[in-house]
Amino acid sequence: MKMKTATRILSVVAATLGLAGTATAGSCGYDYCWGAVAVGPNGAYGFAHSWGSEQEAHDVANSGCEWDCTITRTFYNACAAIAVADNGGWGWAYESSRELAESSAMSYCMDNGYNCRVRVWSCSK
C-alpha cells in the first residue's frame, strides 16, 4: 500500500515538473522564437514577436510599415531595437532585455549619426 502511494506522489511530482518546464519555455516552446524590427522613411516602422519562423517575423514587421521599410533585422529568443539619427545614420542591436537592446542600438547609432532616437523595439522569448 505504501509503495502505491509513493509511486502516485512521484508521478504527480514528475507531471508537475514537466508542465512547469513547458510553461516557462515561452510562447514558441523550446525552438527559436523569432522576432523582427523594421524602419523606413517618414517614420514608418514595424515589429514582430513570437513567430515560429524567421520569414514570418520578417513579413509581419514589414507589413507593419506597409512594405515601405528600408531596414529590417530579425532575431530570436531576445529583444531587439533600431535607433535612427537625424542625419539618416542608424544602429541596431539584440540583447537579453529591452533596456540593453535600446542602449546598444543607441550606441551604434551615435557612431553613425547624431540626435539618435529608438524608433522601434520588440522582444521575442
Give residue 116's pLDDT band: very low, low, confident or very high (50, 70, 90): very high
Q: Are 89 and 109 in contact, with CB atoms under 8 Å apart?
A: yes
Q: Classify the C-alpha dihedral 34-75-94-43 as positive or negative.
A: negative
Q: What are the cell numbers at 85? A: 539619427
Model pLDDT, residue 81: 98
* 73, pLDDT greater than 50: yes
Give residue limits of the domains in the chain.
1-26, 34-124
Q: Are 74 and 35 in contact, with CB atoms under 8 Å apart?
A: yes
The residue to which cell 512521484 is assigned = 10
Continuous segment of H or E residues that includes residue 49: strand 45-51
For 81, the 3-state DSSP assignment is strand
pTM for this entry: 0.76
Compute the average pLDDT of residues 3-25: 33
